[in-house]
Amino acid sequence: MAEETTSTDEETPEEPPRDDRREEILGQVVEAMGDAVVGSHIDPGRDLWVRVATGAWGEAAEVMRNRMGCRYFGYLSAIDWMPSPYGRSMDSEVDNALGTGQSADQEEAPAGIVQGVAGGESRFQMLARVATIGTPGDHWGITLKADVADDDMRMPTWTGVYAGADWHERECWEMFGIEFIGHPGLRHIYLPGDFEGNPLRKDYPLVARMVKPWPGIVDVETLPETDQDSAGAPDDEGAES
Amino acid sequence: MTAVTDRQKLSYIASQAADARVNVELETEGMTLNIGPQHPATHGTLRIVAQLDGEQVIRAEPVAGYMHRGYEKLAEVRTYPQVTTLLNRIDWLGSFANEVPFILAAEHLMEVEAPPRATWIRTILHEMSRVAHMILFLGDMGVQLGAVTPVFFAFRDREYVLDQIEAATGGRFHPNFDRIGGLKDDLPKGWIESTKVALAKVLSFCDEMEDLLLGSEIFQARTRGIGVIPPDVAMQYGLSGANARGSGIDWDIRRDNCIGLAYPELDWKVWTHPDGDSFARFWVRLQETREAVKMIEQLCDGLPSGPVMAKVPRIIKVPAGEAYVATENPLGEMGYYVVSQGDLTPFRVKIRSASFNNVSITPWIMRGVYVPDIVTILGSLYFILGDIDR
């Protein structure tokens, strides 16, 4: 793992570390997909991100499998980049004592959408990872991203290329409300059939937190007996002193 | 000459139907068989709806979600150290192995590196949880085929391993021992010696299973050629771990893509089996258990000295960035895609659990098998429901 040590000094300006293997892979992807590659990012020795145009999502799977040799399907999901309108619900006594909580008066307004690596323009973004399983030592994975148009939340399915995308797309549809065109059976996988809403969207509240804030480290209510004990305690102390 | 009356029409249809009846009677009626949600053959609460034609399965559809607890959503409101308590509960049999990749992802984003001793102890405990996990599998596989003795042996011998995990971490199933930057504590005194005793017990358990199950004619007849997964299909579905290696895919994250653990410094072997059937998956796991024992012995002998915790701030804020880190947990590729926006909590955590992919192949693999094979295949795929449902 000689590569790995180079990744720590990523930000030294004089000699930015290079990852020739991943540069080369990125070059091949760009060659295969042309203008459809709209963003990319390399974490030297670790990972490679490629963002493709919304319309090229289906094609990207085929290129990855047939031309890049990524026969291994890792996962498929999505990210909702909108900041949660409910904040982080970190307002317990402990959080405030540590100065890390957001009490109601100092709650900062959501700063707007901040996209992650490889850029992005929309609220929802597809996220998928495929990998090669080649000779030992030449194993690499690639994370693919694509924007999901805000007004048309439909993406082509990957099930025709990677059969394993079936369950992942069902989960993604259920959790984010992104529809997959051509999916053989877009049914609920985790939630009951009549469930409404998409729980992993940021604007879907985590109701348990709204009812009672997370207690933090220790926030145990005292038992009735201990209440009596503690009530009697000052008297005892007073008698002794 | 005369027009055909309704009566004639009806009798003609009836005669045709009678002919059809002859054919129909040779076939069996379709039937839907519900396995689960609480069948002993499902490692948790999974339900399988199988449509049968006689003894043959036409279609089998797993129904998951009975244990969905929404960890990906919960992770968005908990601080990084708090998230590990959730991760413990994803796969309760090998919970320590689930903490590691998340911590490694956070460490990578913070550009913190754990000291070598912490890395080695992590690797030891990672392999210990694999051994505990695999012991249960090896015994449990017998139960799926009607042999009850092995699972009692398994529960007996797993205790030795769990005792060691408990002695080091304080928890049998939910260690919560990993910290960003290292470990909560060092190993207790005398731990390495008592571990070696436990490892000897594990090896003798493996021999017992080899005698009891692997050599048994019934076991071979029930598992050989049952539930064959060709390597290409396995990769399309993203099968990992022993399920992939049982299909002849020579790939192991510990060897090929190891991040932040001590595996590259050890002398060990990746076992594969070309057959891809239930027997192959059992065989690979049996060999891996022995291999893990070998690794723990090497790790215990070469354990470096030094601190187990790097210098990290008291309040952990992870700089903005994204990282995907996967390790080979007992079930396969366990990875976390962590998105941070420089906050106390992760912005988004995608949990890529091994069982989710491993079980998604069931509708494909169950087509055309016989009813008793359903249980064999489920047993040999080996999943944990918490790992599917998260």
Tens digits of residue pLDDT in B118-147? 999 999 999 999 999 899 888 888 888 888
Residues 185-214 of A with CB under 8 A from B: 188-191, 199-200, 206, 209, 214
Q: What is the pLDDT of residue A8?
A: 43
pLDDT at residue A50 above 70? yes
The pLDDT of residue B2 is: 60
Asked if pLDDT for residue A231 goes beyond 60, the answer is: no
**Pairwise pLDDT comparison (B197 vs B78), residue with the higher score:** B197
Nearest to B357 among A1, A114, A164 (CB): A164
Q: Poorest-confidence range of A1-5, A69-73, A89-93, B195-199? A: A1-5
Q: In terms of Cα–Cα distance, which of B227, B40, B232 is closest to B143?
A: B40
Task: Summarize the confidence of residues A219-227 as an average pLDDT.
Answer: 59
What pLDDT score does A215 carry?
Answer: 59
pLDDT of residue B40: 66
Whether the complex's predicted ipTM is more than 0.85 is answered with no
- pLDDT at position A103 is 47
In this prediction, residue B293 has a pLDDT band, given cuts at 50, 70 and 90, of very high
Q: What Rg value do the Cα atoms of chain A yield, rounded?
A: 25
For residue B72, the tally of other CB atoms under 10 A from its CB is 19
Measured between CB atoms, which of B70, B237, B322 is closest to A116?
B322
Q: How far is B194 from chain A (nearest CA, A)?
A: 32
Residue in A closest to B270 by C-alpha: A136
Is 50 exceeded by the pLDDT of residue A109?
no
pLDDT band at B27 (very low <50, low <70, confident <90, very high): low
Residue B70: the pLDDT is 84
Cα distance from B340 to chain A (closest Cα, Å)? 9
- Find the mean pLDDT for residues A61-67: 85
> Residue B72 is nearest to which of A84, A162, A200, comparing CB atoms?
A200
Please determine, for residue B333, whether its predicted confidence score (pLDDT) is greater than 70.
yes
Q: What percent of chain A has pLDDT over 70?
A: 68
pLDDT at A234: 44
| Contact across the interface for B324 and A47, Cβ inside 8 Å | yes
Distance from CA of A71 to the nearest CA of B (A): 6
Q: Work out the average pLDDT over B231-248.
A: 88
Count the residues in chain A: 241
**A59 burial class (0-12, 13-18, 19+ CB within 10 angstroms)?**
middle
Integer angstrom CA distances of residue B39 from A149, A225, B35, B90? 43, 45, 6, 20
Residue A107 has pLDDT above 70, yes or no: no
Percent above pLDDT 90 for chain B:
7
The percent of residues above 70 in pLDDT, for chain B, comes to 93
Please state the rounded mean pLDDT for residues B251-258: 82
Over 70: is that where the pLDDT of A105 sits?
no
Q: Is A91 left (phi over 0), alpha (psi -120 to 50) or beta?
A: alpha
B237 contacts in A (CB within 8 Å)?
73, 162-164
Please report residues of A whose CB lies closer than 8 A to that of B233: 163
Residue A194, pLDDT score:
81
Name the A residues in 134-163 with CB < 8 Å from any B CB.
136-137, 139, 141, 143, 162-163
Once rounded to an integer, what is the mean pLDDT over residues A33-48? 82
pLDDT score of A48 more than 50: yes
| Residue of chain A whose Cα is closest to the Cα of B260 | A4
pTM of the model: 0.80
Interface size A-B, in CB pairs within 8 Å, comes to 123
Mean per-residue pLDDT of chain A: 74
Q: What is the pLDDT at residue A236?
A: 44
B390 closest CA partner among B350, B358, B361, B363: B350
pLDDT of B179 strictly over 60: yes
Contact call for A71 and B321, based on CB within 8 A: no
Min Cα separation B74/chain A (Å): 8
Asked whether the beta carbons of B357 and B240 are under 8 A apart, the reply is yes
DSSP state of A190: S
Percent of residues in chain A assigned helix, strand, coil, to nearest 5: 35, 20, 50
User: Which residues of chain B does A190 touch, with a Cβ-Cβ cutoff of 8 Å?
Assistant: 64-65, 68, 389
pLDDT band at residue B359 under the 50/70/90 scheme: confident
Q: What is the pLDDT of residue A113?
A: 78
Q: How far is B363 from chain A (nearest CA, A)?
A: 11
Please compute the mean of the pLDDT values over residues A213-227 and round it to a whole number. 58
Residue A5, chain B, CB below 8 Å: the answer is no
